[in-house]
Each structure stands twice: as C-alpha cells, then as structure tokens.
Amino acid sequence: FGKTIDIVSKDAEGYVPNLLGARMQAQLLALPGGAPSTVYPPQPGHYVLTDDIKVFMLADVFVLKYSTHDVTNLDGRCEIKGIPVGKARISALLPSTQVVVEKDIEIKAGETLELPLELRFDAKAQAAAAAAAAASASAAGTSAAPKR
C-alpha cells in the first residue's frame, strides 16, 4: 500500500507505539533522540494510534488514498486545496461519535467555495461508538492495555 507513519519522541520520554487495526510484527520503541519508529497501515481507513506504556494516549489516524483532506482548526474551519474542477462529495467525520455529514458540490475553476457543515455531538452516540470500538478491538485480539 505504501503509506507509513513515523513516530518520534521529541521529549525526554520513551514510547511504545501501537497502531490498532494494523498488524504489528514486533513491538517498536520511540526513544528520546532516537531514530523514528515506523508503522505501516495496511490500507486506507480509520486507525487508533496508542502507546502500550501510557495507555491514556490515543490519537485517531485517518489514512487516505488522496491528499484532498484537512483537519479543522480550533474555530472549526479548514481549507482544502487542489480539488479538481467538477463534481465532488465532501464528507466530514466526528471521530468520537462516528457521525458523518456529506454534501455533493461542484468545484468551478478560479472560485472559492465556502461550505458550512454541522456535526452535532451526541453523548449516546459517543458511548455507542466507544462500545463498538472496544468490541471490535476485543474480537480482533487487540487491546489498548499494556502487555505483560
């Protein structure tokens, strides 16, 4: 597939990265001042990057085929450049609840399109998504808990 993620320790701590949903052949270490530890997502999709020592450290990782994506800043805005002219579908995802909003649009040459999208937070949906993720990880034989 060809995509890689390099994990580097930029502080005085060591880390043991684990990309849930990707097969890990060996346990990797990211040591202070050391070389990057590389993880290999097997295909595009949603993964969770964890640390096997500091189990509270979690990050959503989205592996995409194309670079036409962005993550919102603190005020909820983002900018995506390089979308080809023509029809496209814009999708927004709220990872904590797995809520998706999609809208079909048309990109015109030389024009900027401002597109408001609203993702509503639902605590019940968040609890259901967390339970589904835990069940999926358990069924796959993975865990965010430290290995002993």
Answer with the residue of higher pLDDT: 36 or 72: 36
Q: What's the pLDDT score for residue 141?
A: 56
pLDDT, tens digit (0-9, with 9 covering 90-100), for 74-117:
888 888 887 888 998 888 888 777 788 999 999 899 888 888 88
Q: What is the largest CA-CA distance in the chain?
A: 57
Look at residues 8, 41, 9 and name the one whose alpha carbon lies nearest to residue 23: 41
Look at residues 90, 148, 145, 144 and name the one whose alpha carbon lies nearest to residue 119: 90
- φ, ψ at 93 (rounded to 5°): -125, 135
Q: Using CA atoms, how far apart are residues 63 and 87, in angstroms rounded to an integer?
A: 23
Cβ(117)–Cβ(92) below 8 Å: yes
Look at residues 41, 87, 38, 92 and name the one whose alpha carbon lies nearest to residue 64: 41
How close are the terminal C-alpha atoms of the chain, in Å?
A: 32
pLDDT, tens digit (0-9, with 9 covering 90-100), for 20-48:
888 877 888 999 999 999 988 988 888 99
Classify residue 95 by burial, with Cβ atoms within 10 Å: 0-12, 13-18, 19+: middle
* Per-residue confidence band for 138, with pLDDT thresholds at 50, 70 and 90: low
Q: What's the pLDDT score for residue 32?
A: 92
Q: What is the pTM of this model?
A: 0.55
Q: What's the pLDDT score for residue 36?
A: 92
